[in-house]
Structure 1
Amino acid sequence: MKSNTIAIAISYIFNASFYSIYLLPIFADLKDIFTIALSIIFLGIMPIIFIVIQSIRGRIDMFVSQRKERPKYFIPALIGYLTGYILFSLLNKSMLALYHLSYFTVTFTIFLISFKWKISVHMAGICGPNTFIILTLGEKYIPLYLLSILVGWARYRLKAHTFLQLFMGGIIAIVVTFFTVIYMR
């Protein structure tokens, strides 16, 4: 029972929206409050606000466990990521623009897959951003991938995903992020 409690805590702490914010201090100018606030809105709030509201109303669980329920909950995230990409491009904040675009391309790919198959958003939400950080800032950030083991264990322990769903969530995020960053740089 204790390991389930730990797995639940890990699942909340390392959800995709929160993790996107955790990484901002690595590459964003924390003195630029406007930019940070916009990033928090587009990366952290918009992607989960609809889920939180529906969860409070008792219509879904916070992890949107039912595959058939998932697609519609990707829409606010996609809008937030795309808006962030466009806005930060216009503001000449190329790193933040690319970060938002990477989130958009990975999320759009997972969105399309979710119509037919359940895939781990948690793993995508760890592996995609880590790949972005490694490709843009260097190999010294490779140890961030170790978090995927922790998150994968938690999601598997809670029976939220099969090993294949976890693996594919991570691999798809790595590949899509790689091509997004390489193509856009």
Structure 2
Amino acid sequence: MAITNIYNKLARLFSTLFVPPSLTVIVFFYFAFSLENRIEKSIIVFAIALIFGFILPIVLFVYMRRRGKIVDVDATIKEERTFPFLIAVLFYFGGLLALIFFNAHIISIALWFCYISNTLLTALINRHWKISAHAMGVAGPMAAVSFVNINFALVLGFILLMTGWSRVKLNCHTLFQVLAGALLGTFSTYFQILYILKYFNYAR
């Protein structure tokens, strides 16, 4: 019983810490301060990610929880997820325009574009089946980071494994829903970024 309780607490910790907006902050902090060539620009890029990819989505979630539009912290009812996904797309569009305006690094812009396309795809799938947004939210940034730093990508891979385990452990998703989110997030993001980099003739 004690071991089970520890596992449940660990699962809750990973599930809470590594929500998709958290990965946005982590990865864009890394991108902003490793890819940009001026500290002022690094701060701007990170601020854009913080506002449009973390603060606004979290505020939306808290607001909907307080209004009773989302019944629990895990958003276990799939029908309650569609509206937040669509509003998040609007936030991401705002972030994309800001990144383009400030001429952010192409990899940052490419990943941000993937946030829009992947969220739309998730919302579409969610109408019929509750794919794991947590898994997609880690897998996408992991795929993007693999273009820059494979060691960091491996760290994110470990976080993906633990986050996926936590969602199954908490009975928020089936193993198949987590695997589907992980695979879709990884391959969708990787190939979209690969295409964007080739289109803009970016050489690593």
Determine what percentage of the aligned residue pairs are the same residue. Answer: 27
Kindly indicate whether the alpha-carbon contact (under 8 Å) linking 2:29 and 2:46 is maintained by their aligned counterparts in 1: no
Q: Answer with 53-62 or 76-85: which moved more.
A: 53-62
TM-fit CA distance, 1:104 = 1.4
Distance apart, 1:64 and its partner CA: 1.3
Say which of 59, 79, 99 aligns to 1:68.
79
Q: Does 1:115 align with 2:115?
A: no
1:102-151: CA deviations, max 9, x gaps? 2112111111100110010100011110001102x043334121211101
Answer whether contact 1:48 1:77 (CA < 8 A) is retained: no
Cα contact 1:119–1:165 (8 A) shared by 2: yes
Give yes or no for contact 1:103–1:129 (8 Å, CA) kept in 2: no
2:110 paired with 1:98: yes
Structure 1 unaligned regions, length at least 5? none
1:83 aligns with 2:94: yes
Report the alpha carbon displacement of residue 82 of structure 1 after superposing the two structures with TM: 1.8
Q: Deviations over 1:14-48 (max 9, x none)?
A: 00001110122322138333332221011112223
Amino acid across the alignment from 1:86: L
Q: Does 1:23 align with 2:27?
A: yes
The 3-state SS of whatever aligns with 1:117 is coil
Partner amino acid, structure 1, of 2:152:
Y
Task: Report what 2:10 is aligned to.
Answer: 6
Q: 1:35 & 1:50 partners in 2: Cα distance?
A: 22
Counterpart check, 1:39 vs 2:43: no
Listed as ranges, the gaps of 5+ residues in structure 2 are 198-204
Q: Does 2:93 correspond to 1:51?
A: no
Q: Which shows bigger deviation, 76-85 or 169-178?
A: 76-85
**What secondary structure, in the 3-state scheme, does the structure 1 residue paired with 2:173 have?**
coil
Q: Is 2:163 the partner of 1:124?
A: no
Contact 1:98–1:181, Cα closer than 8 Å, also in 2: yes
Contact 1:87/1:97, CA 8 A, preserved across alignment: no
Q: Distance in 2 between matches of 1:2 and 1:96?
A: 37
CA distance in structure 2 between the aligned counterparts of 1:23 and 1:71, rounded to whole angstroms: 25
Instruction: Please give the secondary structure, in 2, of the residue aligned with 1:65.
Output: coil
Matched residue type, 1:175: F
Kept in 2, the 8 Å contact 1:43–1:100? The answer is no
Q: Please list every run of at least 4 consecutive aligned residues from structure 1 whose deviation after the TM superposition is greater than 6 angstroms.
A: none
The structure number with the bigger radius of gyration is 2
Is the 2:144–2:190 Cα contact (8 Å) retained in structure 1? yes
* Counterparts of 1:35 and 1:24, CA distance in 2: 8
Which residue identity lines up with residue 83 of structure 1 in the other structure?
G
